[in-house]
């Protein structure tokens, strides 16, 4: 075979591979990298990797970090998280932050139906009954600070699994120290005494303004109370949330946090 013929064959193969590249890449990744419609590729250098804009906190319901790691890496279970934090504060990373971990499942927050695509998922080794030990919460706070520094995630977007999947999930448990996190700038909180709420404030409208899916009102109310109301046994099951507390949280969700160290993103 002459050198010219060989070069010709290589050119044809090269062209074929280039032509098939989008399909090959799509097949590998499982997600299309472009529309697939005929288009002219005209590359721009002005882009970077997408940034997560939410943090979703879970507890594993496992008996140990090892059991949680096994569950979160078992292919058949199809669940994962970016991080798992052991009770002793050991931080495990399971998924690249640029990738979509499978932790939130069917979810909804403020109209966003695909929380996995927009979030970092953090699992805490906890069975749902016991308190979260100090080393574990200290490690979580350090991780949240790191994530806030790198991604400028708004305080209001640090949420629990129960918040984004009301009625379906109830983690992290009532033992989780949301108030302590909020004092560090992660998540919202209001302490009494609250200012009087606007007259006629509608509970479900306010819950929806915070972000909750209110299509099942009782589930949304239960998720709100799990997160934002201290459980001293005085609240009757099914009772509506305190209107003044709701109004305070809605107002805070719309305000930039005073003294926030979160960087602004120019792009
Ligand atoms: Zn969860």
Q: Which pLDDT tens digit goes with each residue over 55-68?
A: 999 999 999 999 99
Active-site residue flag, 267: no
- Model confidence pLDDT, tens digit, residues 215-256: 999 999 999 999 999 665 566 666 788 999 999 999 999 876
Among 66, 74, 97, 123, which one carries the catalytic annotation?
123
What pTM was estimated for this model as a whole? 0.84
Please give the pLDDT value at position 6. Answer: 47
CA of 67 to the centre of ligand 1 (A): 15
Closest CA to 140 of 176, 191, 94: 176
Q: Are 245 and 229 in contact (CB under 8 A)?
A: yes
Question: What local confidence, expressed as pLDDT, does residue 11 receive?
Answer: 55
| Domains observed in the chain | 54-183 (3.40.80.10), 203-253 (no CATH)
Between the CA of 57 and the centroid of ligand 1 the distance, in Å, is 7
- Ligand 1 centroid to 58 CA: how many Å? 4
Task: Cite the DSSP H helix spans in 73-160.
Answer: 115-118, 134-151
CA distances from 88 to 126, 127, 188, 191 (A): 11, 15, 26, 30
Average pLDDT, the chain: 87
- Which carries the bigger pLDDT value, residue 29 or residue 52? 52
Q: What is the 3-state secondary structure (H, E, C) of 9-56?
A: HHHHHHHHHHHHHHHHHHHHHCCCCCCCCCCCCCCCCCCCCCCCCEEE
Asked if residues 239 and 245 have their Cβ atoms less than 8 Å apart, the reply is no
> How many angstroms separate the alpha carbon of residue 43 from the centre of ligand 1?
39
Q: Which long-range contacts (CB under 8 A, 24 or more apart) does 96-99 make?
A: 97/52, 98/49, 98/50
Percent of the chain with pLDDT over 70: 81
H-type helices in 74-166, by residue range? 115-118, 134-151, 161-164
Strand ranges (E), the chain:
54-59, 83-85, 91-93, 119-124, 158-160
C-alpha 63 – ligand 1 centre gap (Å):
15
Cα 110 to middle of ligand 1, angstroms? 19
Integer Cα distance of 176 and 100 in angstroms: 25
In the structure, ligand 1 is a single-atom ion and the residues with CB under 5 Å from it are: 58, 161, 171
- Picking from 59, 81, 62, 61, the residue whose alpha carbon sits closest to that of residue 72 is 81
Distance CA 93, CA 80 (A): 10
Q: Determine the 3-state secondary structure of 93 from DSSP.
A: strand
């Amino acid at each position: 075979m002459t050198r010219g013929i060989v070069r010709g064959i290589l050119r044809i193969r090269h062209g074929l591979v280039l032509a098939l590249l989008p399909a090959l890449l799509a097949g590998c990744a499982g997600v299309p990298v472009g529309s697939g419609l005929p288009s002219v590729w005209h590359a721009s250098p002005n882009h970077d990797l997408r940034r997560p804009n939410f943090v979703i906190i879970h507890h594993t319901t496992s008996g140990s970090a090892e059991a949680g790691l096994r569950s979160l890496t078992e292919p058949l279970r199809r669940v994962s998280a970016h991080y798992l934090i052991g009770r002793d504060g050991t931080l495990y990373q399971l998924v690249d932050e640029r990738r979509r971990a499978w932790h939130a499942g069917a979810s909804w927050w403020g109209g966003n139906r695909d929380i996995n695509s927009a979030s970092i998922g953090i699992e805490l080794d906890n069975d749902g009954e016991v308190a979260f030990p100090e080393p574990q919460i200290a490690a979580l706070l350090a991780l949240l600070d790191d994530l806030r520094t790198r991604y400028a995630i708004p305080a209001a977007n640090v949420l629990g699994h129960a918040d984004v999947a009301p009625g379906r999930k109830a983690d992290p448990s009532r033992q989780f120290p949301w108030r302590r996190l909020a004092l560090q700038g992660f998540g919202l909180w209001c302490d009494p005494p609250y200012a009087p709420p606007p007259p006629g404030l509608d509970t479900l409208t306010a819950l929806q303004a915070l972000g909750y899916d209110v299509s099942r009102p009782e589930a949304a109310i239960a998720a709100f109370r799990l997160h934002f109301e201290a459980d001293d046994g005085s609240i009757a099951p099914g009772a509506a949330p305190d209107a003044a507390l709701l109004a305070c949280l809605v107002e805070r969700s719309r305000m930039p946090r005073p003294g926030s160290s979160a960087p602004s993103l120019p792009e």
